[in-house]
Amino acid sequence: MTVSLQKPLTLSLHGDWSVAGIAGQWALVSAYLAGLKNDNEGADEASRRILISMEGIDALDACGCQLMAIFVRDVRKIGIEPCLTAVPDNLHGIISALGFTHHFQNMDPGAIEQ
């Protein structure tokens, strides 16, 4: 997971987001969310959006989709609007097939790789 501090914030997800790798991703997401909560207090409007790039994800299954859904929900709870970007076709297909699309209402269709 890498973070760009330019506005809007960009979070690039990497690695294994399947049942085999989710424990490691959970620790990173939890730490990032804690920092985001602290940094969001008194933030301007440009800081209230985060782009979540998925192009670095190697594997994704229902466990990974569920973690992302929880992360997106918790980001919204602290007043930041997440937007999934750079979603490769194969990951978009997995998200749709597993029924998680409604959790990612702000998935940038222009950013889905063709």
pLDDT digits (tens, 9 = 90+) for 19-57: 999 999 988 888 888 888 776 655 555 567 888 999 999
What per-residue confidence (pLDDT) applies to 103?
86
**Residue that wins the pLDDT comparison between 38 and 66:** 66
Calculate mean pLDDT across residues 103-114.
57
Confidence (pTM): 0.79
The string over 91-109, giving b where at least 16 C-beta atoms fall within 10 Å of a residue's C-beta and e elsewhere, is: bbebbeeeebeebbeebee
Report domain extents, the chain.
Answer: 2-111
Instruction: Name the strands in the sheet holding 49-60, side by side, starting at the edge strand that comes first in the sequence.
Output: 2-4, 9-17, 49-60, 81-85
In CATH terms, 2-111 corresponds, of 1.20.1260.10, 2.60.40.2470, 3.30.750.24, 3.40.50.1100, to 3.30.750.24
